[in-house]
Amino acid sequence: MSNTAPSTTDAPARTATKRTILMCKPDFYTVSYRINPWMHPEEPTDTSKAVAQWQTLVDVYEQLGFDISYIDPIDGLPDMVYAANGGFVLDGIAYGAKFQYPERQPEGPAYMDWFRQAGLTVAEPEQTNEGEGDFLLIGNTIYAGTGFRSDSTSHDELATIYGREVVTLKLINPSFYHLDTAIAVLDPEPAADGTSNIAYLESAFDEPSLAILRERFPDAIIATEEDAAILGLNSYSDGYNVVIAARAVRFAEQLQEKGYNPIGVDLSELLLGGGGVKCCTLDLHPVGTGTSVARSLGVS
Ligand SMILES: CN(C)C(=N)NCCC[C@H](N)C(=O)O
């Protein structure tokens, strides 16, 4: 692993920024119900394998110098490992999640308790929303998914709470039911040229949403169906290092062509629940972070 952008390509220089994230160990992980097409409760899962794979993700993040907090897992809430769905945190405010399916609803208050204890201001949700699963900060704008989980009324709630532009994107394929299965944020802080780039899966969106993405992100990486089909887009970037599903081979090449450093991790056991790298990672966006804290992390 390296945090120095390659100098021998034509791709723009990339800068890693230190990330501050929340994760949840999958001690109680299993697939005991079906709320997305990936889940097959009739098939066995291996909790210790899930924990081991999750630990490899933690190890990578530690090597990258990330600041990681952990929320205690709760017995009976097997999906709690997908911390990205636990809320949306920005500007010191945590907008709590209000899960659509009863099986996950107790996670909302559990995550809000953690946010409060961490000193964040909690905005209790009135509208159904699944946190960072559907809300992604790109540049200064919040892109908000709807169609399967988060209600579009939650986008209005977001705009009121944060006073930022919120752009609604409609998802149309049930296999890509959260926005973070269909868009990867590659530049969590604007890049040197002021832009923030993404990768996305075209077939996951309706036409009006696609038009928005094409206009706003002309240099985006267009993901292949093959890579998206293993949740390859469900990745997490520090602006240079992009942690992705190990099997997302073409996505790794596309990232390299653009000057990023892909790092593959095998989370196949957690894929059985319908989640990947990004689902396990809630970006806490601490107040005061931004390009000003961009730094070379010196990891080798
Ligand atoms: C990228 N994705 C999908 C996520 N952000 N979250 C995964 C949630 C999985 C859970 N079984 C569910 O269906 O809610």
Nearest CA to ligand 1 atom 4: 279
Nearest CA to ligand 1 atom 8: 275
Distance 82 CA to ligand 1 centre (A): 6
280: annotated active-site residue: no
* Residue 180 Cα: closest atom of ligand 1: 1
Indicate the pLDDT class of residue 289, thresholds 50, 70 and 90: low
Give strand ranges (E) for the chain.
Answer: 20-23, 67-70, 87-90, 93-96, 121-123, 135-138, 141-146, 166-170, 183-185, 198-200, 221-222, 236-237, 241-245, 261-265, 282-283
Its pTM stands at 0.92
From the candidates 24, 155, 279, 285, give the one annotated as an active-site residue: 279
User: What pLDDT shows up at residue 292?
Assistant: 26
pLDDT digits (tens, 9 = 90+) for 232-272: 999 999 999 999 999 999 999 999 999 999 999 999 999 99
Whether the complex's predicted ipTM is more than 0.90 is answered with yes
Is 235 a pocket residue for ligand 1 (Cβ < 6 Å)? Answer: no
Average pLDDT over residues 118-138: 98
Confirm if 14 and 5 have CB atoms less than 8 A apart.
Answer: yes
Distance 282 CA to ligand 1 centre (A): 12
Average pLDDT over residues 153-177: 97
Is 36 a pocket residue for ligand 1 (Cβ < 6 Å)? Answer: yes
Confirm if 27 and 70 have CB atoms less than 8 A apart.
Answer: no
Average pLDDT over residues 273-278: 96
Average pLDDT over residues 16-45: 97
User: What pLDDT shows up at residue 9?
Assistant: 58
pLDDT digits (tens, 9 = 90+) for 166-198: 999 999 999 999 999 999 999 999 876 778 999
